[in-house]
Amino acid sequence: MLIALSVILLCQLAGEALARAAQLPLPGPVLGMAFLFCVMLLRDRFAQTPAVQTRLMTIEPTASSLLAHLSLMFVPAGVGVVRNLGVLAHYGVQLFLALILSTFLTLVVSVAVFRMVSRLLGETDTGELS
Amino acid sequence: MSSSDFTLWVYLSRTPLLWLCLTLCVYGVVDAIAQRFGRHPLVNPVVLSVIVLGSILMATGTDYRTYFDGAQFIHFMLGPATVALAVPLYQNRLIVRRSLIPMLAALVCGSVVACVSAVMTALALGAPPNIVMSIAPKSVTAGVAMSIAEGLGGDPALAAVLVLITGILGAIMVTPLMNALGVRDYRARGFAVGLASLGIGTARAFQVDPIAGTFAGIAIGLNAAMTAFIVPWIMPYFV
């Protein structure tokens, strides 16, 4: 748990540092996600001794316990929005309608394109190769 | 309230512990209620917690800064949780690799539609350019959206608010919409909701299906890069 948490935080730190240093338009944690992915691939390839293997195996349960409560982590920012609704005083209705329509269209278009291309590649409705 | 009760309240309300505990407890109760409703899309734990906590803050006259002193410990976990999305990605890497082409096609189309449709609707309804600039990056994580909006001359605070509202809208819409469309491919469902509404949508996706959650997580990462790239390029055509 301690090792897994350190690995996750180190990946985030490396991500933040790289995003800042290279002035990438990506959030640090997203780069951190890429780093952790690499760590897990490297673990399979190079961690031969059982001791190292077992320690790094704790990454999975630690990550799933973090992800189990993903919704909770948006609550503090969400409360901030409620206190900030003043910025919506002008044009709030227009913006809200624009968001509803746009979110609807984005969902429909992305899922339609995904399915269409997947079907062209000869996959079934559930993504299996037919 | 007697004066000693009041002193206790003043003391507690100024320590991070009170607001941290309250956030956790409110979420715990609300999440149990959501579970009781079989994770019905309208019973969204983020929305309910925000309403309850927002009302408590308003009723007690607590300012957001005091609240955030406690809640920041939860807010901080967003970073590590985003990094942790690598684990489902790793576990499903074979399916992900097989789905690269449909994913990239959906990414390009989805992020253009997300930006263009929001901007065009807002313009058509009569919103002024500086407001429209803040809605353009609404489908990326709040931090990135704020810096894109700022770069375009929009309002960063407004951009952050719009990102969160988009997240909630997507999380509520996705399940009924996808069922109505008859989409049974959880890769496509997850990818679409991650693209349209990021973290809150991803949280919803993980509640529905682990594969959907995995693809939603990938969409967050890809779309952050994509939107930062296309928005400055698209906007000059509109404003």
| ipTM computed for the complex | 0.89
In the prediction, which pLDDT does A1 show?
Answer: 78
Residues A55 and A25 in one domain: yes
Give whole-number Cα distances, B78 to A12, A67, A94, B15, B71, in Å.
Answer: 11, 9, 30, 22, 12
Is A61 in the B-facing interface, judged by CB distances under 8 Å? no
Residues A93 and A32 in one domain: no
**Is pLDDT at B32 greater than 80 in this prediction?**
yes
Min Cα distance B3 → chain A (Å) is 29
Print burial letters for B69-104: b (CB count within 10 Å at least 16), e (below 16): bbbeebbebbbbbbbbbbbbbbbbeeebebbeebbe
The residue among B73, B87, B148 with the most chain A CBs within 10 A of its CB, best to mutate, is B87
Report how far residue A40's alpha carbon sits from residue A30's, in angstroms, rounded to the nearest whole number. Answer: 16
Residues A25 and A59 in one domain: yes
- Cross-chain Cβ contact B109/A104 below 8 Å: no
| Domain end call among B29, B45, B76 | B76
Instruction: Decide if B147 contacts B156 (C-beta within 8 A).
Output: yes
| Domain end call among B60, B76, B92 | B76
What single string gives the DSSP state of each residue in A62-77? HHHHHHHTTGGGGHHH
* Domain coverage including residue B220: 84-237
CB-nearest to B126 from A59, A60, A94 is A94
Give the three-state DSSP class for A35. helix
Residues A27 and A64 in one domain: yes
Please state the domain count of chain B. 2
Average pLDDT value for residue range B107-136? 88
Residues A65 and A20 in one domain: yes
Residues B155 and B203 in one domain: yes
In the prediction, which pLDDT does A109 show?
Answer: 96
Residues A38 and A69 in one domain: yes
* B170-174, B182-186, B199-203, B213-217: least confident range: B199-203
Residue type, B150: E
Instruction: Please give the angle made by the CA atoms of A23, A6 and B93, to the nearest 5 degrees.
Output: 75
Residues B147 and B38 in one domain: no
Chain B neighbors of A128, CB-CB under 8 A:
none
Residues A1 and A57 in one domain: yes
| Domain end call among B20, B54, B76 | B76
Domain presence at residue A78 = no
**Is pLDDT at B239 greater than 70 in this prediction?**
no
Residues A46 and A18 in one domain: yes
- Cross-chain Cβ contact A11/B83 below 8 Å: yes
Give B46-100 pLDDT, tens digit per residue: 999 999 999 999 899 888 889 999 999 998 998 899 899 999 999 999 999 999 9
Tracing tokens 């299996």 back to the chain, one arrives at A128
Instruction: Decide if B177 contacts B148 (C-beta within 8 A).
Output: no
CA A78 to chain centre: 18
Is B69 in the A-facing interface, judged by CB distances under 8 Å? no
In the prediction, which pLDDT does A128 show?
Answer: 66
Report how far residue B18's alpha carbon sits from residue B62's, in angstroms, rounded to the nearest whole number. Answer: 12
Give A44-76 pLDDT, tens digit per residue: 888 777 777 777 888 999 999 998 888 899 898
Domain presence at residue A2 = yes
Residues A9 and A44 in one domain: yes
Residues 6+ apart with CB under 8 A from A115: B102, B183, B185, B188
Residues A38 and A62 in one domain: yes
In the prediction, which pLDDT does A126 show?
Answer: 67
Which residues does chain A have with pLDDT short of 70?
Answer: 125-130
Chain A neighbors of B220, CB-CB under 8 A:
30
pTM: 0.87
Domain presence at residue A79 = no
Provide the pLDDT confidence category of residue B177 given band limits of 50, 70 and 90. Answer: very high
* Domain coverage including residue A52: 1-73
Residues B176 and B218 in one domain: yes
